[in-house]
Amino acid sequence: MWHTVFATAARNQRANLRAFPWAFTLGHIIEGGYLVLVSYFSYVYLIQGDLDDRFALYAGSGNYLAYAIIGGALNVFSVSMMMNVSRALITEWREGTLEALLLSPSSRNGYFLGTALQQFYRSGMVLLAVLVFGILAGMRLSAPHLLSVGVSGGLFILSCYAMALVLGSIMLYTRDTYIVQNTLFAVTTLLCGFQFPRQYLPGFLQAAGGVFPLTSSLQLLRRTLLTGEAIPLRDTLPALLLSLVYIAVGMWSNRLVERGLFEKYQA
């Protein structure tokens, strides 16, 4: 499996660099800077630092700027991670390389992990840019509890990966990327609580947001970054279990759909 992971990551990286030699890096830096500016202007000029009392209660911190910048950065990260992993197979299909890939005895999980690894590198650059711009804009974080940041960060990545696998099956089944991905991203942006605490939402929307592993892993990661507190192990279970369920469903459905794809196409 690891052969496939590293080979796929290297292949994607080479192909990306060859396709977008300088725009590749610059695009991510601009994206990161824009995100921080929007959060900063909203906070300073739109709401003029006037926060609802409930915000600190819901968010666990009154630091809205850090809350919004972290949420925005993680939203960009999750969207690009989910989009690129989920689109991987349908892109192979469109470019005429899926047959060659499926002919080989390579691990499909390895293939997706390789795509995710390369995407992590790309999205990591955006995160880095956001962090630099955020600090320049006045974002301050408490001293982090490194283990908790590591565990919740890993869970966040895992939940993105898990959701991407399921999304990928849907894309492959419907042979559509645009409507499927944008519908999901609009829903996750609203329900997962990237820009504001989910408690502001009506009860049924809060419950709907709980279906995504992204929601609980985002809350964990942001909580530990904002407060610097350690995360109890039991708090990680909902995100972990939900991610594992999504991964199992995603792998199963991908296998089913990719075989069905040739049936549909051939008929």
Partner 1 sequence: MIQMNEVTKIYETKNRLGLFRAETRTVTAVQSLTLSIAKGEIVGLLGLNGAGKTTTIRMLSTLLDPTSGSIEIDGMPMADNRRSVQQKVNMIAGGERMLYWRLTGRENLQYFGRLYGLNTAKIRSLSDLLLAEVGLTAAADQPVEQYSKGMKQRLQIARGLINDPEYLFLDEPTLGLDAPIARQLRSTVRSLAKEHGKGILLTSHYLQEVEELCDRVYVLNRGRLLLCDKPDAIVRQVAGLQTAHLQVSGWDEALRPLLQEHLGKLGHPAELIGGVKDSDGNSASRSEESYRISVRSTSADMLITELLPWTMQYGLRINGFTCDKPNLEDAIILLSEGRVS
Q: Which residues bind partner 1 (CB under 8 A)?
A: 3-4, 6-8, 11, 14-15, 18-19, 95-97, 99-106, 259, 262-264, 266-267
DSSP collapsed to 3 states, 156-198 = HHHHHHHHHHHHHHHHHHHCCCHHHHHHHHHHHHHHCCCCCCH
Contact between residue 76 and residue 123 where contact means Cβ atoms under 8 Å apart: yes
Integer CA distances (angstroms), 16 to 12, 20, 23, 140, in order: 6, 6, 10, 34
Distance of alpha carbon 75 from alpha carbon 12, whole angstroms: 22
Nearest approach in angstroms of CB 2 to partner 1 is 10
Nearest approach in angstroms of CB 86 to partner 1 is 19
Across 180-197, b (16+ Cβ under 10 Å) vs e yields bbeebbeebbbbbbbebb
Nearest approach in angstroms of CB 102 to partner 1 is 6
Rank residues 108 and 145 by Cβ distance to partner 1 and give the closer one: 108
Establish how many alpha carbons lie within 13 A of residue 135's alpha carbon, considering only the half-sphere containing its beta carbon. Answer: 7
Nearest approach in angstroms of CB 98 to partner 1 is 9
Rank residues 89 and 240 by Cβ distance to partner 1 and give the closer one: 89
Nearest approach in angstroms of CB 109 to partner 1 is 13
Nearest approach in angstroms of CB 24 to partner 1 is 13
Rank residues 3 and 175 by Cβ distance to partner 1 and give the closer one: 3
What tokens does 19 get? Answer: 């396709």
Rank residues 8 and 78 by Cβ distance to partner 1 and give the closer one: 8
Rank residues 46 and 267 by Cβ distance to partner 1 and give the closer one: 267
Establish how many alpha carbons lie within 13 A of residue 62's alpha carbon, considering only the half-sphere containing its beta carbon. Answer: 6
Distance of alpha carbon 59 from alpha carbon 199, whole angstroms: 9
Rank residues 55 and 111 by Cβ distance to partner 1 and give the closer one: 111
